Amino acid sequence: MEMFLYMDKDSILHKLDPRTKIFIMLISFAIALMFSSLSLLLILSFLVILYGALGKVLSNLKRIRVILIMIAIMSVILWALTYPGTTRLWGPVTKEGIIYGIAIGIKFDVMIIAGMIFLSSTKIEEISLGLVKLGIPYRPAFAFSTAVRLVPMIVSTSYIITQAQKSRGLDLDTGNILQKIKKYIPLLIPVLISVIRQANILAMALESKGFGYSDKRTSYLEIKFEVRDYAFLAVALLILIVAVYFKFK
């Protein structure tokens, strides 16, 4: 199981300044939160997927496909049962509720996909440097980038521990959802211990290298805006302006 989300590809997306990709991701979030219209969210989904295709990182989405599907299904079920509509299909389920549930599911999935595209096309050190260049203090920027690094490590550790327990005869696949959750709870202890150990090792490594000794820092990486960055930002801002126009017209 791959531990890191970043995919090393030769694409225009990977060559963009990390600040450009941060702005595009935030614009995607803003537009997704702005609308609940199914048609407009489908258009946004197409644009986000097209953006990911430019970076050749869409294959990374298969790692979160279960999460995307579960969010969509839960959204449809929740809103189909609770959304007040006029066209009743069965019991409390309405046509409007199903459509609204699909739209909300797409809304959250689009934001997750946009974030995944960003993490798949941006190195950890580029993320922290980009945040620092945006004016965020180094320590919060480093903490955020470290959290991004640790998430896939935690997932990988959980997967390894789960597979190890299955190989020893632990049955985690049978029973209803509550029974399965109960079986997984004891596995949280070794995962938690592993995470604490990794965090302790990281803390000692940072301390041994004098982390935080000086506020003035240098970086091996050098980033700067180029023509392609301005082009991508111009397109993203144009899409945002159009979205705001349709929202408030």
- Kindly report, residue by residue over 136-158, the tens digit of the pLDDT: 888 888 888 888 777 777 777 88
10 occurs within a structural domain: no
- Whether pLDDT at 241 is above 70: yes
Residue that has been written with the tokens 């301390």 in this structure? 207
pLDDT at 99 over 80: yes
Is residue 7, in this structure, part of any structural domain at all? no
Say if residue 189 is in the same domain as residue 242: no
In this structure, are 113 and 173 located in the same domain? no
Do residues 58 and 39 share a domain?
yes
Residue 241 lies in a domain: yes
Residue 127 lies in a domain: no
| Cα torsion through 233, 237, 240, 246, rounded to 10 | -150
**17-76 confidence digits (pLDDT tens):** 999 999 999 999 999 999 888 899 999 999 999 999 999 999 888 888 888 898 899 998
Q: Are 147 and 182 found together in one domain?
A: yes
Asked if residue 212 and residue 90 are part of one domain, the reply reads no
85 and 198: one domain?
no
Residue 114 lies in a domain: yes
Cα distance between the two ends of the chain: 48
- pTM of full prediction above 0.85: no
- % of the chain with per-residue pLDDT over 70: 93
Task: Please tell me the predicted confidence (pLDDT) of residue 112.
Answer: 93
Predicted confidence at residue 83, as pLDDT, reads 77
User: With 0-12 CB in 10 A as exposed, 13-18 as middle and 19+ as buried, what is 176?
Assistant: exposed
Condensed to tens digits (0 to 9), the pLDDT of residues 169-200 reads: 877 777 776 777 777 777 888 888 888 888 88
Pair (172, 206) in one structural domain: yes
Same domain, 195 and 149: yes
- Largest Cα–Cα distance in the chain? 66
Based on the domain organization, do 37 and 118 belong to the same domain? yes
- Domain count along the chain: 2
Q: How does the average pLDDT of the chain come out, rounded?
A: 85
In a domain, 8, yes or no: no
32, 107 in Cβ contact below 8 A?
A: yes
Please check whether residues 177 and 66 belong to one and the same domain: no
pLDDT at 53: 94
Domain region containing 246: 18-122+221-249
Question: Cα–Cα distance between 194 and 176 in angstroms, integer?
Answer: 28
As a whole number of angstroms, the distance between CA 32 and CA 172 comes to 36
What's residue 43's pLDDT?
93
Residues 160 and 82 in one domain: no
Asked if residue 30 is part of any domain, the answer here is yes
Between residues 17 and 91, which one has the greater pLDDT?
17
pLDDT value of residue 234: 96
Are residues 226 and 114 part of one domain?
Answer: yes
130 within a domain of the structure (yes/no):
no
